[in-house]
Amino acid sequence: MEFIKVNKAYAKHIALIQLNRPKELNALNLQLMGEIRDCLKELDQDDEVRVIIISGDERAFAAGADIKQMAGKSTIDMWKVDQFSTWDQINKTRKPIIAAVSGFALGGGCELAMTCDMIVASETAQFGQPEIKIGVMPGAGGTQRLTKALGKAKAMELVLTGKFISAEEALGYGLINKVVPVEVYLKEAVSLASEIAAMSPIAVQMAKEAVKRSFEVPLEEGLHFERKNFYMLFSSEDQKEGMNAFVEKRKPDFKGK
Protein backbone atom coordinates (compact mmCIF):
# COMPACT_ATOMS: atom_id res chain seq x y z
CA MET A 1 0.00 0.00 0.00
CA GLU A 2 1.62 3.26 -1.13
CA PHE A 3 -0.95 5.88 -0.21
CA ILE A 4 -2.59 4.46 2.91
CA LYS A 5 -1.24 3.19 6.21
CA VAL A 6 -3.13 0.31 7.75
CA ASN A 7 -3.09 -0.93 11.32
CA LYS A 8 -5.35 -3.96 11.69
CA ALA A 9 -5.06 -3.93 15.47
CA TYR A 10 -5.03 -0.22 16.30
CA ALA A 11 -7.15 -1.02 19.36
CA LYS A 12 -9.06 -4.13 20.42
CA HIS A 13 -11.11 -5.25 17.37
CA ILE A 14 -10.48 -1.88 15.68
CA ALA A 15 -8.57 -1.30 12.45
CA LEU A 16 -7.29 2.09 11.32
CA ILE A 17 -6.84 3.14 7.71
CA GLN A 18 -4.90 6.38 7.46
CA LEU A 19 -4.79 8.25 4.14
CA ASN A 20 -1.17 9.08 3.48
CA ARG A 21 -0.61 11.73 0.80
CA PRO A 22 -0.03 14.63 3.20
CA LYS A 23 1.65 16.98 0.70
CA GLU A 24 -1.37 16.73 -1.61
CA LEU A 25 -3.82 17.09 1.30
CA ASN A 26 -4.69 13.41 0.81
CA ALA A 27 -6.19 14.09 -2.63
CA LEU A 28 -7.88 10.87 -3.70
CA ASN A 29 -6.09 9.58 -6.77
CA LEU A 30 -7.17 6.34 -8.43
CA GLN A 31 -4.52 4.23 -6.75
CA LEU A 32 -5.41 5.54 -3.29
CA MET A 33 -9.10 4.77 -3.83
CA GLY A 34 -8.19 1.28 -5.07
CA GLU A 35 -6.09 0.74 -1.96
CA ILE A 36 -8.99 1.78 0.31
CA ARG A 37 -11.32 -0.57 -1.59
CA ASP A 38 -8.95 -3.55 -1.38
CA CYS A 39 -8.13 -2.91 2.26
CA LEU A 40 -11.81 -2.65 3.29
CA LYS A 41 -12.54 -5.89 1.47
CA GLU A 42 -9.79 -7.63 3.39
CA LEU A 43 -10.77 -6.14 6.76
CA ASP A 44 -14.39 -7.16 6.15
CA GLN A 45 -13.20 -10.80 6.02
CA ASP A 46 -11.03 -10.55 9.13
CA ASP A 47 -12.89 -11.87 12.19
CA GLU A 48 -10.56 -10.03 14.56
CA VAL A 49 -11.71 -6.67 13.16
CA ARG A 50 -15.15 -5.43 14.18
CA VAL A 51 -15.00 -1.68 13.46
CA ILE A 52 -12.92 0.30 10.95
CA ILE A 53 -11.77 3.90 11.28
CA ILE A 54 -10.68 5.96 8.27
CA SER A 55 -8.72 9.11 8.96
CA GLY A 56 -6.39 11.54 7.26
CA ASP A 57 -4.07 13.85 9.16
CA GLU A 58 -4.63 17.06 11.12
CA ARG A 59 -4.55 19.32 8.05
CA ALA A 60 -6.77 17.26 5.80
CA PHE A 61 -9.01 14.24 5.83
CA ALA A 62 -9.02 14.55 2.03
CA ALA A 63 -9.25 17.66 -0.18
CA GLY A 64 -11.16 15.78 -2.87
CA ALA A 65 -10.42 13.66 -5.89
CA ASP A 66 -7.03 14.36 -7.45
CA ILE A 67 -7.76 17.30 -9.76
CA LYS A 68 -4.35 17.03 -11.42
CA GLN A 69 -5.07 13.40 -12.36
CA MET A 70 -8.56 14.23 -13.67
CA ALA A 71 -7.89 17.50 -15.48
CA GLY A 72 -7.02 16.12 -18.93
CA LYS A 73 -9.43 13.18 -18.96
CA SER A 74 -12.14 12.66 -21.57
CA THR A 75 -15.56 11.14 -20.93
CA ILE A 76 -14.35 7.84 -22.37
CA ASP A 77 -11.22 7.90 -20.18
CA MET A 78 -13.46 8.35 -17.13
CA TRP A 79 -15.86 5.65 -18.32
CA LYS A 80 -13.02 3.16 -18.91
CA VAL A 81 -11.59 3.68 -15.45
CA ASP A 82 -15.05 3.07 -13.93
CA GLN A 83 -14.32 4.62 -10.57
CA PHE A 84 -17.91 4.07 -9.56
CA SER A 85 -17.34 0.35 -9.09
CA THR A 86 -14.64 1.22 -6.53
CA TRP A 87 -16.98 3.56 -4.64
CA ASP A 88 -19.83 1.00 -4.85
CA GLN A 89 -17.55 -1.67 -3.41
CA ILE A 90 -16.56 0.63 -0.52
CA ASN A 91 -20.24 1.27 0.14
CA LYS A 92 -20.83 -2.49 0.39
CA THR A 93 -18.53 -2.89 3.42
CA ARG A 94 -20.46 -4.80 6.09
CA LYS A 95 -18.54 -3.66 9.13
CA PRO A 96 -19.19 -0.19 10.52
CA ILE A 97 -16.80 2.51 9.36
CA ILE A 98 -16.14 5.69 11.30
CA ALA A 99 -14.55 8.66 9.54
CA ALA A 100 -12.24 10.59 11.87
CA VAL A 101 -12.06 13.98 10.18
CA SER A 102 -9.69 16.86 10.83
CA GLY A 103 -9.12 19.77 8.45
CA PHE A 104 -10.46 19.61 4.90
CA ALA A 105 -13.12 17.09 3.88
CA LEU A 106 -13.94 18.43 0.44
CA GLY A 107 -15.47 17.07 -2.74
CA GLY A 108 -14.65 13.37 -2.91
CA GLY A 109 -13.21 13.72 0.62
CA CYS A 110 -16.57 14.85 1.96
CA GLU A 111 -18.22 12.10 -0.08
CA LEU A 112 -15.86 9.49 1.35
CA ALA A 113 -16.66 10.68 4.89
CA MET A 114 -20.38 10.53 4.11
CA THR A 115 -20.00 7.02 2.69
CA CYS A 116 -18.74 6.01 6.13
CA ASP A 117 -21.38 5.26 8.75
CA MET A 118 -20.47 7.90 11.32
CA ILE A 119 -18.23 10.95 11.42
CA VAL A 120 -16.21 12.19 14.39
CA ALA A 121 -14.65 15.56 13.62
CA SER A 122 -12.09 17.89 15.10
CA GLU A 123 -13.01 21.55 15.68
CA THR A 124 -10.86 22.43 12.66
CA ALA A 125 -12.79 20.24 10.22
CA GLN A 126 -14.38 21.84 7.18
CA PHE A 127 -16.87 20.09 4.93
CA GLY A 128 -17.85 21.10 1.42
CA GLN A 129 -18.55 20.13 -2.16
CA PRO A 130 -16.50 22.70 -4.11
CA GLU A 131 -16.64 20.85 -7.47
CA ILE A 132 -18.78 23.66 -8.92
CA LYS A 133 -15.76 25.96 -8.69
CA ILE A 134 -13.81 23.74 -11.08
CA GLY A 135 -16.63 23.40 -13.59
CA VAL A 136 -18.14 20.09 -12.52
CA MET A 137 -20.43 18.77 -9.80
CA PRO A 138 -20.28 16.08 -7.09
CA GLY A 139 -19.94 12.63 -8.63
CA ALA A 140 -19.63 10.19 -5.74
CA GLY A 141 -22.93 10.69 -3.94
CA GLY A 142 -22.54 14.29 -2.73
CA THR A 143 -25.81 15.61 -4.17
CA GLN A 144 -27.72 12.72 -2.60
CA ARG A 145 -26.07 12.09 0.77
CA LEU A 146 -25.56 15.77 1.59
CA THR A 147 -29.19 16.55 0.73
CA LYS A 148 -30.46 13.68 2.87
CA ALA A 149 -28.42 14.98 5.82
CA LEU A 150 -28.77 18.76 5.42
CA GLY A 151 -32.08 19.12 3.61
CA LYS A 152 -32.62 20.69 0.18
CA ALA A 153 -31.97 24.37 0.91
CA LYS A 154 -28.60 24.05 2.61
CA ALA A 155 -27.36 21.23 0.38
CA MET A 156 -28.30 23.27 -2.68
CA GLU A 157 -26.37 26.26 -1.29
CA LEU A 158 -23.25 24.19 -0.65
CA VAL A 159 -23.34 22.36 -3.98
CA LEU A 160 -24.08 25.48 -6.06
CA THR A 161 -21.65 27.88 -4.33
CA GLY A 162 -18.94 25.44 -3.28
CA LYS A 163 -18.71 27.08 0.16
CA PHE A 164 -17.52 25.12 3.18
CA ILE A 165 -19.22 24.55 6.52
CA SER A 166 -17.48 24.19 9.87
CA ALA A 167 -17.60 21.12 12.07
CA GLU A 168 -19.98 22.92 14.46
CA GLU A 169 -22.38 23.70 11.59
CA ALA A 170 -22.10 20.14 10.29
CA LEU A 171 -22.99 18.89 13.77
CA GLY A 172 -26.01 21.18 13.88
CA TYR A 173 -27.23 19.76 10.56
CA GLY A 174 -26.80 16.18 11.72
CA LEU A 175 -24.11 15.45 9.14
CA ILE A 176 -21.66 14.34 11.81
CA ASN A 177 -21.77 12.68 15.22
CA LYS A 178 -19.36 14.65 17.35
CA VAL A 179 -16.97 17.62 17.40
CA VAL A 180 -13.96 17.53 19.72
CA PRO A 181 -10.62 19.37 20.05
CA VAL A 182 -8.12 18.45 17.36
CA GLU A 183 -5.80 16.75 19.88
CA VAL A 184 -8.38 14.07 20.65
CA TYR A 185 -10.42 13.51 17.49
CA LEU A 186 -8.81 10.15 16.73
CA LYS A 187 -9.04 9.08 20.36
CA GLU A 188 -12.72 10.01 20.34
CA ALA A 189 -13.27 7.95 17.18
CA VAL A 190 -11.58 4.99 18.86
CA SER A 191 -13.77 5.42 21.91
CA LEU A 192 -16.94 5.32 19.76
CA ALA A 193 -15.52 2.36 17.81
CA SER A 194 -14.77 0.52 21.07
CA GLU A 195 -18.35 0.89 22.28
CA ILE A 196 -19.56 -0.70 19.04
CA ALA A 197 -16.82 -3.36 19.04
CA ALA A 198 -18.08 -4.60 22.43
CA MET A 199 -21.44 -5.56 20.84
CA SER A 200 -22.20 -8.68 18.84
CA PRO A 201 -20.51 -8.09 15.47
CA ILE A 202 -23.26 -10.05 13.73
CA ALA A 203 -26.01 -7.89 15.25
CA VAL A 204 -23.98 -4.76 14.50
CA GLN A 205 -23.56 -5.65 10.84
CA MET A 206 -27.18 -6.66 10.37
CA ALA A 207 -28.36 -3.49 12.10
CA LYS A 208 -26.06 -1.38 9.92
CA GLU A 209 -27.46 -3.06 6.82
CA ALA A 210 -31.03 -2.33 7.93
CA VAL A 211 -30.36 1.34 8.77
CA LYS A 212 -28.67 1.84 5.38
CA ARG A 213 -31.62 0.19 3.68
CA SER A 214 -33.90 2.91 5.06
CA PHE A 215 -32.22 5.37 2.66
CA GLU A 216 -33.01 3.26 -0.36
CA VAL A 217 -36.45 1.70 -0.08
CA PRO A 218 -40.00 2.67 0.96
CA LEU A 219 -40.95 2.18 4.63
CA GLU A 220 -42.84 -1.08 4.15
CA GLU A 221 -39.96 -2.72 2.33
CA GLY A 222 -37.52 -1.39 4.94
CA LEU A 223 -39.62 -2.82 7.77
CA HIS A 224 -39.76 -6.15 5.99
CA PHE A 225 -35.97 -6.14 5.68
CA GLU A 226 -35.57 -5.19 9.35
CA ARG A 227 -37.82 -8.10 10.40
CA LYS A 228 -35.82 -10.58 8.35
CA ASN A 229 -32.56 -9.49 10.01
CA PHE A 230 -34.22 -9.43 13.45
CA TYR A 231 -35.38 -13.05 13.05
CA MET A 232 -31.98 -14.10 11.68
CA LEU A 233 -30.23 -12.90 14.83
CA PHE A 234 -32.11 -15.50 16.89
CA SER A 235 -29.98 -18.15 15.22
CA SER A 236 -26.76 -16.57 16.51
CA GLU A 237 -24.93 -17.69 19.66
CA ASP A 238 -24.48 -14.00 20.45
CA GLN A 239 -28.24 -13.59 20.88
CA LYS A 240 -28.26 -16.35 23.52
CA GLU A 241 -25.16 -14.90 25.17
CA GLY A 242 -26.57 -11.35 25.22
CA MET A 243 -29.94 -12.30 26.67
CA ASN A 244 -28.55 -14.88 29.14
CA ALA A 245 -25.98 -12.34 30.35
CA PHE A 246 -28.79 -9.89 31.03
CA VAL A 247 -30.76 -12.48 32.99
CA GLU A 248 -27.63 -13.56 34.91
CA LYS A 249 -26.68 -9.93 35.61
CA ARG A 250 -23.24 -10.12 33.99
CA LYS A 251 -21.47 -8.53 31.03
CA PRO A 252 -21.97 -10.40 27.74
CA ASP A 253 -18.97 -11.81 25.93
CA PHE A 254 -19.86 -11.74 22.25
CA LYS A 255 -17.93 -14.09 19.98
CA GLY A 256 -19.41 -13.16 16.62
CA LYS A 257 -21.02 -16.57 16.18
Neighbouring C-alpha atoms within 13 Å toward the C-beta of 142: 29
**Residue 221 a catalytic site member:** no
Residue 165 interacts with ligand DAK (CB under 6 A)? no
Backbone φ and ψ for 23, nearest 5 degrees, come out as -65, -30
Give the footprint of ligand DAK on residues 6-25 (CB under 6 A).
24-25
| Closer by beta carbon to ligand DAK, 96 or else 130 | 130
- Which residue from 77, 80, 79, 66 is spatially nearest to 30, judged by alpha carbons? 66
Q: Which of 65, 150, 155, 179 binds ligand DAK (CB under 6 A)?
A: 65
Catalytic residue at 56?
no
Gap between the Cα atoms of 32 and 66, Å rounded: 10
Task: Name beta bridge partners: 128.
Answer: 106, 164
Q: How far is the CB of 88 from ligand DAK (least distance, A)?
A: 9
58 binds ligand DAK (CB under 6 A): no
Least distance to ligand DAK, CB of residue 108, Å: 3
65 is an active site residue: yes
For the residues of 62-120, what is the DSSP string, one character each?
A: E--B-HHHHTT--HHHHHHHTHHHHHHHHHT--S-EEEEE-SEEETHHHHHHHHSSEEE
Size, binding site for ligand DAK by CB under 6 A: 22
Q: Is 27 in the site for ligand DAK (CB under 6 A)?
A: yes
Give the Cα separation of 248 and 91 in Å (integer). 39
Q: 81 to 120, contacts with ligand DAK by CB under 6 A?
A: 83-84, 87, 104, 106-108, 111
The footprint of ligand DAK (CB under 6 A) covers 24-25, 27, 63-68, 83-84, 87, 104, 106-108, 111, 130-131, 134, 139-140
